[in-house]
Amino acid sequence: MKFLDLAKVYIRSGGGGSGAVSFRREKFMEYGGPDGGNGGRGGDVIVEAVDGLNTLIDFRYQQHFFAKSGQPGMGKQRTGADGADIVLRVPVGTEVLDEDEETVLADMTEVGQRVHLAKGGNGGFGNLHFKSSTNQAPRRANPGQPGIERTIWLRLKLIADAGLLGLPNAGKSTFLSVTSNARPKIADYPFTTLHPNLGVVGVDNVEFVVADIPGLIEGAHEGKGIGDRFLGHVERCAVLLHLVDGTSEDVVQDYETIIGELEAYGGVLAEKPRLTVLNKVDALDDEERTERQVKLAKACGEPVMLMSGVSREGITEVLRALRDLIDEDRLRIKRDAEEEQPWQP
C-alpha cells in the first residue's frame, strides 16, 4: 500500500428540500385547505477516525464528497425525506485543515471520533406551515437552504510512542527492522527511506510503537531534502531516539545538524524527551568508541548510549531506556507466546 499523508478534498453538504404548495381537494370531503408538507433536511459531511488505516491513499482516487440533498415536501402534509450523510473515514492522527492549510478544523486523535465539517441545509416550509386564522389559504412555501461547499486539507501525523531521528544512513531503518516485524528498505545510499514506517517493538513484556521517518539534512526546515515533510509525524511521539552514525568523521557536527533543524522547525519537537545513541559501533575499536562517545556526550550534555543495529549490541539497553521515558498509559502488555497459541482440546 502506498503512503500518502496529505490530501486535498472538496466537500459539499446537501441542500434542503423545498416546501410544497398544495391544497386538499377531495370529492365529498367537507374540509379542505392547505396541506403542503415541509422539505427534507440535507445530509451532513462528517469526518470519522477509524482503526486499521495508516495512510490517506484513498483520497488520491476520490477527492469530491457530496452529501445527498433533502427531498421536496409533498401534498397530504407529507414531509420530504432527509438527505443521507456522507462520512470521510480517516486514520487516527489526521488533522483537518481549512483551505489556507494553517487553520485546524479538527484533530482526529481517537478511534470513533466524529466531527461535522459541513451541516446540511434545512428544508423549506410548506404552505401548511403558514396557515393562520387570518391567512387560511396561503399560497407560498419556502425553498430549502443550500448546502455548504468548501475545500479542506487532510494531513496525517502518525501516532507513535517513539520517533527515530538522524541524518540519512544513520541506521534508523536497520534499528527498526531488527527490533520489530517492520521491513523498511535498507541500502548503503542516502534517502533509502522515502516515507515513514511504523513498527511495534517489545522489551521486558511490554510493547510500544516506533516511527522511522526519512533522514534530515542541513537546511531541511527550509525545504531541502525530503525529511522536513515528515517531521510532523514525530510531533505526537512521547520520546525521540536520535541516532548518530559512529563512523562519521564528525559525530558532533552530525548531532548539532539535527538539533538545529528541530529548533528551526519550531513547535514542541526540540523540547521532547530525547535519547541520544551512537550507532554502528561494531565498526569502531574500543579507543574510537570511547573518544566519540565522550565528544558526543559533551556536546549534548547528557549520557550517550552505544549501539549497533547490525551486531545487535546494546539494542536491549536502548529499548529499556526508551521504555523508561514513555508514559505507562502508552505502553501495552505483551501477550505471552502461550496465550497466542490457539486452544486445542
**296: annotated binding-site residue?**
no
Q: Would you say domain 162-338 falls under CATH 3.40.50.300?
A: yes
- 58 has a pLDDT exceeding 60: yes
Can 6-156 and 162-338 be said to share one CATH topology? no
**214: annotated binding-site residue?**
yes
Sign of CA dihedral 288, 292, 293, 298: positive
**11: annotated binding-site residue?**
no
- 28 has a pLDDT exceeding 90: no
**125: annotated binding-site residue?**
no
Q: Model pTM greater than 0.75?
A: no
**205: annotated binding-site residue?**
no
**215: annotated binding-site residue?**
yes
**310: annotated binding-site residue?**
yes
Domain ranges of the chain: 6-156, 162-338
The set of residues, in sequence order, having a beta carbon less than 8 Å from that of 144 and lying 6+ positions away, is 15, 16, 17, 18, 19, 39, 40, 42, 69, 70, 72, 121, 122, 123, 124
pLDDT at residue 27 in the model: 79
DSSP string, 115-173: EEEEPPPPPPPPGGGG--SS-SS----PPPPPPPEEEEEEEE----SEEEE-STTSSHH
**171: annotated binding-site residue?**
yes
CA 89 to chain centre: 11
Distance CA 175, CA 186 (A): 10
pLDDT at residue 150 in the model: 94
- 341 has a pLDDT exceeding 50: no
Sign of CA dihedral 263, 268, 272, 278: negative
| DSSP letter assigned to residue 241 | E
- 225 has a pLDDT exceeding 70: no
Distance CA 88, CA 306 (A): 45
How many helices and strands in the chain, by DSSP H and E? 6, 17
pLDDT at residue 345 in the model: 38
Q: Stretch 32-57: mean pLDDT, rounded?
A: 90
Order the strands of the 86-91 sheet from edge to edge: 86-91, 45-50, 114-118
**273: annotated binding-site residue?**
no
pLDDT at residue 202 in the model: 81
The H or E element spanning position 277 is strand 274-279
Sign of CA dihedral 222, 225, 226, 228: negative
**147: annotated binding-site residue?**
no
**167: annotated binding-site residue?**
yes
Label residue 239 by pLDDT band (50, 70, 90).
confident
186: its cell numbers: 535498507
Residue 13 exposed, middle or buried by CB count within 10 Å (0-12, 13-18, 19+):
buried
pLDDT at residue 1 in the model: 46
pLDDT at residue 223 in the model: 53
Compute φ and ψ for 10, nearest 5 degrees: -110, 125
**325: annotated binding-site residue?**
no
**309: annotated binding-site residue?**
yes
| Second CATH level (architecture) for the domain 6-156 | Distorted Sandwich (2.70)
**345: annotated binding-site residue?**
no
**8 Å CB contact between 238 and 327:** yes
pLDDT at residue 187 in the model: 53
**280: annotated binding-site residue?**
yes
**172: annotated binding-site residue?**
yes
Distance CA 260, CA 264 (A): 6
How confident is the prediction for the chain on average, in pLDDT?
A: 83
**281: annotated binding-site residue?**
yes
**241 DSSP β-pair partners:** 164, 275
- pLDDT tens-place string over residues 76-90: 889 999 999 999 999
**8: annotated binding-site residue?**
no
**195: annotated binding-site residue?**
yes
Q: Which residue has the cell 478534498?
A: 9
**308: annotated binding-site residue?**
yes
